[in-house]
Amino acid sequence: MTKSSLDVDLLVIGWGKAGKTLAKRYAATGKSVALVERDPAMYGGTCINVACVPTKDLVVSAEARRPDDDPQTYFTESVAGRDDLIGKLNAANHAMLDGQATLFDGEARFTGPKEVTVRTADGDVVVTAQTIVVGTGAIPTRPDIPGIDLPGVYDSTTIQHADPFPHRLAVIGGGFIGLEFASMFAQFGSEVTLLDAGPALLPHAEPIVAETVTDVLTRRGITVRNNAEIRGIEQSGDGLRAQLADDGIDVDAVLLAVGRTPVTADIGLDVAGIDTDAKGFVRVDNRLRTSVEGVFAVGDINGGPQFTYISLDDNRIVWDQLVGDGTRTTTDRVAVPNTTFITPPLSQVGLTPAQAQQAGHDVLYAAKPVAKIATMPRPKIVGDAEGVITFTVDADTRKVLGATLFCIDSQELVNLVALAIRAGVTADELLNGIWTHPSSTEALNEVLAELKPYGS
């Protein structure tokens, strides 16, 4: 094995959203850039290869399934469509940086504060750089449950190619991944049991939202079990048995969805003197600087919210320090929205009424079931009038403080509301806004007319 070396202006470890965006932009300014990715199947990062994009592609397929479609055949065809799309995106992501930066197929590990050794098929390369951006992402957490290595026990990545199709599926964890996959597999035709450790789904949501989501999932055939304590998973005949405190559930497959662990344990952070916290997240300040000068941590490893658009914003913060005035920080973020892609999608932004009260606001609140919003015919046209829409508003200024949108198109509508919160738009401006028809935005023309003091 040979050993060679390279010195660059910027070294990026991991092909995630922040890392690839920084690599491309910095290389375009004429700087020398190297990027290391350990797995060719991950060119472009987690989001496009195994997370946001392939799972939403599968969600769309699941929603389009007709009752007579055979689940196994339909799922196999859907996965083939997903693979076709992801193959193209993976190649496009590689092409985007090919020729712009030095690209390494290899595993990176710190061997000094500003030195990284990359293990490639052709030998080790020692890379030094003025700036190093670490964005190694996160992987599914493996809970301490006996039996999780049995065949048929999947995580969010492996279940996307489940074979055979799981006709009976237990999902462990009722967070983003648990809810999305439970909803999706139920629509693919699985009998789904959702097992969550908490006393109720969506513990931070308003009660009416948590109840409506649970009701919709239940009516779609999903059995929701809260306070579920999974003692172990065992082989049982042709399938598996998930053993709970009082009873057990017989299934064909189990999905583990109990959170994501940062990929920081084996990359030599200690050798470099880069601090991590007890859970393995890299400690950063509000400019994403680690304990070593010139080394930044971006994306899922820095303890911030684990979303692709946060990783994208991490890129902006580092970029501002590389070429700007360095003032942009994580504390500039206001009203960061999120969407859980169940059917219909569940989106949230800003404060819930309880949070707003706790923050000292005098709160006005409106909550209306989607089926009762007369000015918004779009859900009825599309054939999905499930859900509820809520708004939280400051009584004194009438500025919008938050919203929960459990309705079709909410992954789009929530961005409008986020902008309204950031811009200090009042409830009246949204209520009296001129919106296209028929659209989901028209909900604003009606729901906001029903604001009342919270709790009255």
Ligand X SMILES: Cc1cc2nc3c(=O)[nH]c(=O)nc-3n(C[C@H](O)[C@H](O)[C@H](O)COP(=O)(O)OP(=O)(O)OC[C@H]3O[C@@H](n4cnc5c(N)ncnc54)[C@H](O)[C@@H]3O)c2cc1C
Ligand Y SMILES: NC(=O)c1ccc[n+]([C@@H]2O[C@H](COP(=O)([O-])OP(=O)(O)OC[C@H]3O[C@@H](n4cnc5c(N)ncnc54)[C@H](O)[C@@H]3O)[C@@H](O)[C@H]2O)c1
146 vs 453, beta carbon nearer ligand Y: 146
Contact pick of 175, 232, 248, 433 for ligand Y (by CB under 6 A)? 175
Site for ligand X in 116-175 (CB under 6 A): 135-137, 156
Angle at 136 between CA 113 and CA 323, to 5 degrees: 65
Binding pattern to ligand Y, positions 302-331, x when CB under 6 A?
---xxx------------------------
Residue 90 CB, shortest distance to ligand Y, in Å, is 19
- 109: which DSSP letter? E
Binding pattern to ligand Y, positions 256-285, x when CB under 6 A?
-xxxx-------------------------
CB-count exposure of residue 144 (10 Å: 0-12, 13-18, 19+): exposed
Residue 228 CB, shortest distance to ligand Y, in Å, is 6
CB 36 within 8 A of CB 12: yes
Contact pick of 152, 166, 173, 299 for ligand X (by CB under 6 A)? 299
CB 138 within 8 A of CB 261: yes
CA atoms within 13 A on the CB side of 324: 13
Tell me phi and psi for residue 344, to 5 degrees.
-75, 165
256 vs 367, beta carbon nearer ligand X: 256
437 in active site: yes
Contact stretch for ligand X (CB under 6 A) within 45-53, 162-170, 189-197, 283-291: 45-53
Closest residue to ligand Y, Cβ-based? 175
- 222: which DSSP letter? P
Contact pick of 341, 365, 406, 454 for ligand Y (by CB under 6 A)? 341
Nearest CA among 339, 367, 334, 349 for reference residue 446: 367
CB 172 within 8 A of CB 230: yes
Q: Report how far residue 390's alpha carbon sits from residue 208's, in angstroms, rounded to the nearest whole number.
A: 9
197: contact with ligand X by CB under 6 A: no
Query: Where are the alpha helices (H) located in 202-344, listed in sequence order?
Result: 207-219, 269-272, 308-323
93 token code pair = 């992501």
The identity of residue 333, as a single letter, is R
143 vs 268, beta carbon nearer ligand Y: 143
Contact pick of 55, 90, 212, 404 for ligand X (by CB under 6 A)? 55
Contact stretch for ligand Y (CB under 6 A) within 64-72, 300-308, 363-371, 392-400: 300-308
Residue 192 CB, shortest distance to ligand X, in Å, is 16
337: contact with ligand X by CB under 6 A: no
Name the binder of 198 from ligand Y, ligand X, none, CB < 5-8 A by kind. Answer: ligand Y
Radius of gyration from C-alpha coordinates of the chain: 24
Name the binder of 241 from ligand X, ligand Y, none, CB < 5-8 A by kind. Answer: none
Name the binder of 256 from ligand Y, ligand X, none, CB < 5-8 A by kind. Answer: none
39: contact with ligand X by CB under 6 A: yes
336: contact with ligand X by CB under 6 A: no
Contact pick of 78, 306, 347, 445 for ligand X (by CB under 6 A)? 306
- 73: which DSSP letter? H
210: contact with ligand Y by CB under 6 A: no
| Upstream peptide bond of 166 is cis (omega within 30 degrees of 0) | no
Name the binder of 228 from ligand X, ligand Y, none, CB < 5-8 A by kind. Answer: ligand Y
Residues 6+ apart with CB under 8 A from 99: none
CB 77 within 8 A of CB 64: no
Task: Please identify which residue in the block is written with the tokens 């202006």.
Answer: 9
190 vs 311, beta carbon nearer ligand Y: 311
Total Cβ atoms within 10 A of residue 396 = 9
Strand partners, 127: 6, 116
Residue 54 CB, shortest distance to ligand X, in Å, is 8
Residue 38 CB, shortest distance to ligand X, in Å, is 4
Q: Report how far residue 264's alpha carbon sits from residue 280's, in angstroms, rounded to the nearest whole number.
A: 6
Angle at 397 between CA 334 and CA 391, to 5 degrees: 60
- # of chain residues touching ligand Y (CB under 6 A): 26
In the set 94, 161, 361, 437, the catalytic residue is 437
185: contact with ligand Y by CB under 6 A: no
* Helix, strand, coil shares, percent, the chain, to 5: 35, 30, 35
Backbone CA torsion sign across 33, 35, 302, 161: positive
Name the binder of 345 from ligand X, ligand Y, none, CB < 5-8 A by kind. Answer: none
- Give the footprint of ligand Y on this chain (CB under 6 A): 143, 172-178, 180, 195-198, 228, 230, 257-260, 305-307, 338-341
- Give the footprint of ligand X on this chain (CB under 6 A): 13-18, 36-39, 42, 45-47, 51-52, 55, 107-108, 135-137, 156, 177, 263, 267, 298-300, 306-309, 311
| Residues forming the active site | 437
